[in-house]
Amino acid sequence: MLQSKANRTMKRWSEWKLQQYLFQFWPIYILAIIFALISDTIADSDLSANPGAATIITDKSSFTVYRLNPKTREQTEFLHELLVNSTKIDFWKAPRVAGGQVHVMIQGQMKDEFLRSMKMRNISYSVMIDDVEKKIRKLKETAKRSHNYNRLRDDSSPSRRVYFNLAQYHSYNEMIDYLNQLNAAYPDRTEVTNIGVTHEGRPIKLIKIGKPRQFRKAGIWIDGGIHAREWVSPATVLYIIDQLVTKYDVNLQIRRLVDDMDWFIVPLLNSDGYEYTRSSTNPEVRLWRKNRSPITCRIAQNGIFSQPQQECCQGVDLNRNYDWHYGMEGSSNDPCSEIYQGPSAFSEPETRAVHRFIAKRRDTIKTFLTFHSYSQILMYPFGHREQTYTSDVDDLKSTAMQAANALRAAYGTQYTVGTDPASGGAEDWAKGRMGIKYSYLFELRPDGQVWDGFLLDESQILPTARETFEAVKVIADRTSAMFTPKSLPNIAMNNSKGLV
């Protein structure tokens, strides 16, 4: 009898807990059901500029970006649940802490239900971009008009100066042509090589910048464009390349940094995704984040009342694909998620190329810098779990603070310095697996208050790049001071310029 009474009590308690759970999270289920119904109207895949590669494009209606302002931990956790579990909400700026802004892009027919959900949770919001495609078209038209007037010239540069408009967003082919022109004009300090090939057959190009010396030099790795829609990232890295190569003869600090260190720079890691974002003004194309890996299908159930159905989506988030606490915090195993980690660590040719190159040079590469946008944050490891730090976190933080101060001195741009919860990231892998001393991730302009997120106007490229280079020089100076050049036997220098 006591056993029966205990069972009834336990049953009532379980039912009460289930009711509490459903009450807390039922808006997420409702949104999932709505999104599942909407997904039934998905049009045929748009081949766009990539014959043979398909992308699911939803019913074409206006997209709006909202600025959300969660004030409590519960509100922030609710948005984080949407980030992880919803594949129909595009988070431009993810929820991090209570009081921080969150930016989301919502398609027309989803707006009413989404905003009702925000109101129920007392999450305040405002419109950031009313019509995303209209904004994209306007930026494209403005860029076309201005390109004829923005060519850069520097009369103090050597006569072999390579002319390249650093104030505009370039195509993959234009970027590679520029690297090759630099190599042809400055063969004494540059070398261009392929480190891999993307899914669509594009070479992953790296430029090495450095002067042969009779000693071992520390190396600095830089990459940009890991996320396709973050156009200001490769634009900034191209500026850094330009400064290191063309200012060597006129700037003593740059000469020292190139003499004392080797720079290994990939301006555009995710070239497939980047070129895809350039192929259309459709927001689902221009705001594509992942690479262009083949379509993956899975059986999914989008809510407690829906029937299981097959979902097929394309692409992997390359910055969740590295082998450091892979598949944990801030990533997803759903192929339709913006933060899809891939089927396994290093499943993608882009991340494998980085791994192969750095693993061969882990004893000499002492700094790892990867550039993203946006939010104006300078991050150091680790991000796979909150309150998890490296043994030398004080040095990492101090160096980052000095870099942020140098960046701010250029234009007054404020950066936040710290860690961010996300697993499988490149900077964590570089520190945790490769043992690279200084490993940082830059989230470049804007901060979300003035400019339009990923749709950063070309007028902001040069200010962003200039201030960022000031921060990079601080980190490079710290690297040079920490790892002074070491003498090597003369015989070892016969192939000193080679990348292998």
Phi and psi at residue 278, to the nearest 5°: -85, -5
Query: Of all helices (H) and strands (E), which one includes residue 66?
Result: strand 63-69
Beta bridge partners of 67: 103, 126
Q: Say if CB 168 and CB 143 are below 8 A apart.
A: yes
Q: Comparing C-alpha atoms, which of 315, 323, 305, 333 is closest to residue 84?
A: 333
Give the Cα separation of 182 and 187 in Å (integer): 8
Give the Cα separation of 296 and 311 in Å (integer): 8
Give the Cα separation of 250 and 253 in Å (integer): 9
Q: Where are the beta strands (DSSP E) in 168-303?
A: 190-197, 203-209, 215-216, 218-224, 261-266, 296-300
User: Tokens at residue 135, please?
Assistant: 């904004």
CA 418 to chain centre: 16
Backbone dihedral region for residue 104 (phi beyond 0: left; psi -120 to 50: alpha; all else: beta): beta
Give the β-pairing of 309-313 and 296-300. antiparallel
Q: Comparing C-alpha atoms, which of 77, 69, 44, 76 is closest to residue 59?
A: 44
467 is an active site residue? no
Q: What is the CA radius of gyration of the chain?
A: 24
Among residues 275, 311, 348, 443, the one annotated as catalytic is 443
Give the Cα separation of 335 and 298 in Å (integer): 8
Q: Comparing C-alpha atoms, which of 353, 285, 278, 282 is closest to residue 314?
A: 285
Catalytic residues: 443
